Amino acid sequence: MGYRDSLGEFEQLTLLAVWRLGRDAYGTTIREEIEQATSRPIAIGALYTTLDRLQEKGFVDSELGEATPERGGRAKRFFSVTPSGGQALRKSLKAIRNLAIGFLPTEEAL
């Protein structure tokens, strides 16, 4: 796995959140999903920087939705995981699972 294919911790969380949310994956929902899972507040700017990086790597795709009044007339950008993104995520999680054997009880292992 080269540098461009490797995933950082926040990138893994973001990819997983996008995958879990499916068609409803956009900034607010992705941020809420990560905040709920990690119990730590996320900066919106940091999330978009990560999503941009993932898109550059070809791990996510994005498309612009319609503008909505609750967003002050601004459009949502919807994200989806690409096949290569799914593959990179599986590889990355597998590596963590292999390393975590013995450290976590079996039922807690990824």
Partner 1 sequence: MRLSLKSLLVNSVISFCKATNLKSRIVYRAMFGYLDVACPVNSALTQDVGHRVVGYLTAAKSLLATMESLQLRWKAIDVQSFIKQHGRASTATILCVELGSMVRFACSTGTLTCKTGFVYVEQGLAGAIMTVNELALSLAKHEVRATESRTNSLRDILDKQNSPVFVAEMILWLFTRACHTEEVLGDFREAFEKHQTKYGTVSANKWCREQTVREVWNRLSSAARVTAWLSGAMHAVTKHFRR
Q: Which residues bind partner 1 (CB under 8 A)?
A: 26-28, 31, 41, 43-46, 48-49, 52, 68, 70-77
CB nearer partner 1, residue 56 or residue 86: 56
Which parts of the chain fold into alpha helices (H)? 9-21, 27-38, 44-57, 83-100
Which two three-digit tokens encode residue 109?
């292992």
The single-letter DSSP state of residue 108 is G
CB of 42 to partner 1, least distance (A): 8
Beta bridge partners of 78: 26, 63
CB nearer partner 1, residue 63 or residue 108: 63
CB of 38 to partner 1, least distance (A): 14
Measured distance CA(17)–CA(87) in Å, rounded: 15
CB nearer partner 1, residue 45 or residue 102: 45
